[in-house]
């Protein structure tokens, strides 16, 4: 068992300034956390190693003795009143004093007002120009205390002249050529990018898209030598394993659902944008359509707003009314996802996807575009998440190794998985969509996406969950294992990550760990039938989703698996006063994520207070 005092961090925030120069010769397992070697451009011919300075995550619960008073992490900072009048400047001066830097070195990027905490997102800056990959975020709990802080701010070894010597036009040409796509017209910005050496290079930031290839990038072009410095990949790709045998019949689940919209989350329903009402699969949260252009949006079958289309699974997805049925289903799933995550805290102010933000904060005009039976791919589904204010784009492809082909739009867990990519990318990092770019964090993102699909599928008794059954034929669906509390059915542990590089394989480890957390919460606290619409009760499935959403806002940019674990425990301190701290630790430890887990070596210990 861990010695408790040894586990406490001696000096919180003492080592936040990471000297990046010394970070370069790390072992390769550590580089999962800071680097990502990725094949970019339309034909994947461009190999680039992107660098993200290490994130430090200090969750306040580490100082709270894991006890029932978990919400009281940093008593010395209690001078902050309950209602902080100017959260932004309070956060900036707090950070500056804790990090021992001048307030002029950081700038405010975004504020998210959550349900039980407020989150401030900051970037390092030089002469008013932000450093894209040197960011920090801080959370204030409901008592106005700082409950956690994360930072990838760096000690610079030098920086480029702030006046670009390369024009935006020339930089755009370089970006288009390198990434084999076209500038999409979104305003370019000027930002620094810190290199592994600690040098801050100045860059033009330019969005490059290629719809044929299904790519959407943000290129950082050196504003002095016109070379490609770094790339953000906005597309979360899912490469699914598909076996060509007919197995699961989605007609078994088809029903007519009446008025599924939640008027708290979607005050004007699902078919109205501002004052315009449509009779199409189009509204404030999403627009679903066939194909790769914004045409052939499904129209109602009868007034008012009936979308009753038959599915014939013996026919191809493109024949008869199968297209409209699939579009209707995808529209229903994406809107339902919008509505229930809204109630748990994925709202306008935490950077969600809506055309009209009803003056509730955040950037509007970014509903999700849902392309059903998209022509630009097969055997897959993808979700591109640009920053808050630009629409997310879901592309659902056909699975062609079946006869007839199968439509991913009818696989609800797959659609939910893609929606969750959008939610994760928006909430972690404060709406920039830049915070799952390291190899390890890409695995964390895949894990969250499967875990959300798992949550949606569960009933009163926690069952093993097979992801992507209809578009696959193996007993474990599109993944290597079913998600399960049995370590025979699913043996994945923290140490399983060692040597893994594939984001989906890594994601399975996190999704299964969260499946185990879910099962433990439901066994202890019961299960609510109304969890999708009522987030105010205390059953296990409700608690789990609150922790999930809160953790997305708390965890650092490019989170490691251990950062994600800590964010869940801090989320519990913030919302429930640490009521589930021991349940969380014991469950995390049972899969190797114990208090001393590090470097992909399992640890099964949990705080001694948690002995039952
Ligand atoms: C956990 O780590 C601490 C400090 O590194 C060490 O003293 C302690 O023995 C470890 N506990 C276990 C159970 O390995
Ligand atoms: C977009 O991708 C396609 C397919 O890879 C390629 O043929 C085309 O040249 C690309 N477009 C641009 C503008 O590079
Ligand atoms: C883009 O830049 C122009 C000119 O600076 C500005 O007027 C416009 O508001 C910007 N658009 C967005 C979406 O930020
Ligand atoms: C859109 O619908 C029209 C008329 O029904 C049809 O001719 C066209 O092929 C459809 N386009 C796509 C991309 O499905
Ligand atoms: C698997 O679970 C059983 C109990 O369910 C336990 O006895 C066993 O030690 C576990 N094995 C591993 C490798 O954790
Ligand atoms: Zn995915």
Q: Region 446-471: what's the mean pLDDT? A: 94
Burial class (CB in 10 A: 0-12, 13-18, 19+), 423: buried
Residue 450 pLDDT > 90, yes or no? yes
The torsion of the CA quartet 428, 478, 240, 378, rounded to 10 degrees, works out to -120
* CA nearest ligand 2 atom 13, residue: 181
Confidence of residue 33 (pLDDT cuts 50, 70, 90): low
Q: Region 397-410: what's the mean pLDDT? A: 92
Residue 7 pLDDT > 80, yes or no? no
Winning range, highest mean pLDDT, from 17-21, 373-377, 528-532, 586-590: 586-590
Winning range, highest mean pLDDT, from 308-317, 402-411, 464-473, 586-595: 586-595
Residue 23 pLDDT > 80, yes or no? no
pTM for the whole structure: 0.82
Q: Which residue did the predictor score with more confidence, 329 or 518?
A: 518
Ligand nearest to the CA of 3: 1
Ligand nearest to the CA of 43: 2
Ligand 6 midpoint to CA 38 (Å): 16
Ligand 6 midpoint to CA 491 (Å): 21
Q: Which residues pair with 207 in a beta bridge?
A: 218
* Phi/psi-derived region of residue 259, left when phi > 0, alpha when psi is between -120 and 50, beta in every other case: left
Residue 285 pLDDT > 50, yes or no? yes
Task: Encode pLDDT of 189-231 as tens digits.
Answer: 999 999 988 999 999 999 999 888 778 899 999 999 999 999 9
Q: Is 275 in the pocket of ligand 1 (CB under 6 A)?
A: no
Q: Which residue did the predictor score with more confidence, 513 or 241?
A: 513
Confidence of residue 508 (pLDDT cuts 50, 70, 90): very high
* CA nearest ligand 4 atom 1, residue: 296
Residue 19 pLDDT > 60, yes or no? no
Residue 301 pLDDT > 90, yes or no? no
Q: Which residues are catalytic?
A: 418
Confidence of residue 43 (pLDDT cuts 50, 70, 90): low
Residues with CB under 6 A from ligand 2: 42-43, 180-182, 210, 212-213
The whole-angstrom separation of Cα 387 and Cα 401 is 35
- In the prediction, which pLDDT does 612 show? 61
- In the prediction, which pLDDT does 520 show? 98
Residue 79 pLDDT > 60, yes or no? no
Q: Which of 211, 295, 398 to mutate to test the pocket of ligand 4 (most atoms within 8 A of CB)?
A: 295
Task: Encode pLDDT of 137-154 as tens digits.
Answer: 988 877 777 888 888 898
Winning range, highest mean pLDDT, from 15-29, 283-297, 547-561: 547-561
* CA nearest ligand 4 atom 3, residue: 296
- In the prediction, which pLDDT does 72 show? 36
Cβ proximity of 354 and 389 under 8 Å: no
Q: Which residue did the predictor score with more confidence, 64 or 72?
A: 64
Winning range, highest mean pLDDT, from 59-63, 87-91, 476-480: 476-480
- In the prediction, which pLDDT does 566 show? 96
- In the prediction, which pLDDT does 493 show? 98
CA atoms 530, 553, 513, 497: torsion sign: positive
Ligand 5 midpoint to CA 487 (Å): 6
* 307 Cβ contact list (under 8 Å, min separation 6): 281, 298, 300, 301, 324, 328, 331
- Chain mean pLDDT for the chain: 84
Ligand 5 midpoint to CA 600 (Å): 19
Using a pLDDT cut of 90, give the percent of the chain over it: 60
Question: Among 419, 515, 231, which Cα is nearest to 507's?
Answer: 515
Q: Region 17-42: what's the mean pLDDT? A: 47
The whole-angstrom separation of Cα 467 and Cα 475 is 10
- Ligand 4 atom with minimal separation from the 296 CA: 1
Residue 481 pLDDT > 90, yes or no? yes
Q: Which of 176, 184, 213, 216 to mutate to test the pocket of ligand 2 (most atoms within 8 A of CB)?
A: 213
Residue 3 pLDDT > 80, yes or no? no
Please state, in angstroms and as integers, the Cα–Cα distance from residue 145 to each residue in 81, 90, 522, 570, following that order.
8, 11, 30, 13
The whole-angstrom separation of Cα 453 and Cα 468 is 10
């Amino acid at each position: 068992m861990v010695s408790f005092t040894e586990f406490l961090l001696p000096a919180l925030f003492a080592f936040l300034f990471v000297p990046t120069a010394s970070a370069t010769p790390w072992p390769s397992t550590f580089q999962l956390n800071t680097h990502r070697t990725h094949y970019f451009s339309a034909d994947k011919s461009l190999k680039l190693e992107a660098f993200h300075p290490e994130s430090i995550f200090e969750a306040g619960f580490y100082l709270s003795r894991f006890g029932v008073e978990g919400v009281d992490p940093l008593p010395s900072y209690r001078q902050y009143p309950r209602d902080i009048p100017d959260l932004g400047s309070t956060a900036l001066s707090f950070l500056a004093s804790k990090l021992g830097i001048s307030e002029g070195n950081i700038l405010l990027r975004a504020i998210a007002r959550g349900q039980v905490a407020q989150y401030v997102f900051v970037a390092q800056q030089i002469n008013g120009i932000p450093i894209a990959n040197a960011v920090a975020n801080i959370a204030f709990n409901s008592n106005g205390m700082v409950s956690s802080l994360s930072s990838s701010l760096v000690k610079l070894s030098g920086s480029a002249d702030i006046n670009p010597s390369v024009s935006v036009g020339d930089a755009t040409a370089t970006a288009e050529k390198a990434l084999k796509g076209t500038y999409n017209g979104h305003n370019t910005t000027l930002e620094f990018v810190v290199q592994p050496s600690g040098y801050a290079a100045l860059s033009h930031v330019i969005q490059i898209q290629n719809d044929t290839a299904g790519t959407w990038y943000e290129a950082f072009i050196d504003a002095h030598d016109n070379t490609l410095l770094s790339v953000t990949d906005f597309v979360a790709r899912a490469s699914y394993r598909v076996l060509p045998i007919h197995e699961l019949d989605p007609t078994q689940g088809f029903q007519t659902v009446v008025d599924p919209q939640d008027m708290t989350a979607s005050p004007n329903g699902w078919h109205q944008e501002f004052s315009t009402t449509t009779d199409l699969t189009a509204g404030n949260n999403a627009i679903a359509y066939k194909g790769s252009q914004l045409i052939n949006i499904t129209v109602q079958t009868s007034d008012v707003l009936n979308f009753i289309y038959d599915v014939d699974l013996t026919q191809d997805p493109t024949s008869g009314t199968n297209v409209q049925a699939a579009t209707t289903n995808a529209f229903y799933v994406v809107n339902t996802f919008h509505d229930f995550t809204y109630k748990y805290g994925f709202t306008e102010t935490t950077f969600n996807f809506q055309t009209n933000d009803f003056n509730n904060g955040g950037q509007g005009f970014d509903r999700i575009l849902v392309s059903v039976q998209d022509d630009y791919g097969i055997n897959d589904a993808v979700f591109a998440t640009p920053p808050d204010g630009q629409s997310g784009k879901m592309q659902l492809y056909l699975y062609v190794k079946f006869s007839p082909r199968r439509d991913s739009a009818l696989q609800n867990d797959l659609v939910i998985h893609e929606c969750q990519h959008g939610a994760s990318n928006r909430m972690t990092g404060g709406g920039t969509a830049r915070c799952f770019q390291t190899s390890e964090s890409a695995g964390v993102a895949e894990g969250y996406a499967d875990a959300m699909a798992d949550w949606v599928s569960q009933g009163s008794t926690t069952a093993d969950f097979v992801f992507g059954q209809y578009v696959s034929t193996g007993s474990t669906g599109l993944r290597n294992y079913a998600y399960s509390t049995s370590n025979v059915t699913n043996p994945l542990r923290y140490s399983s990550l060692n040597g893994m590089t594939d984001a989906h394989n890594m994601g399975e480890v996190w999704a299964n760990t969260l499946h185990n957390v879910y099962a433990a919460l439901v066994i202890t606290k019961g299960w609510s039938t109304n969890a999708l619409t009522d987030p105010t009760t205390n059953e296990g499935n409700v608690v789990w989703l609150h922790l999930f959403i809160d953790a997305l806002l708390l965890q650092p940019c490019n989170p490691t698996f251990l950062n994600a674990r800590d964010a869940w425990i801090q989320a519990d301190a913030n919302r429930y006063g640490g009521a589930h701290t021991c349940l969380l630790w014991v469950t995390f430890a049972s899969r190797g994520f114990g208090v001393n887990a590090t470097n992909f070596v399992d640890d099964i210990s949990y705080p001694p207070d948690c002995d039952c």
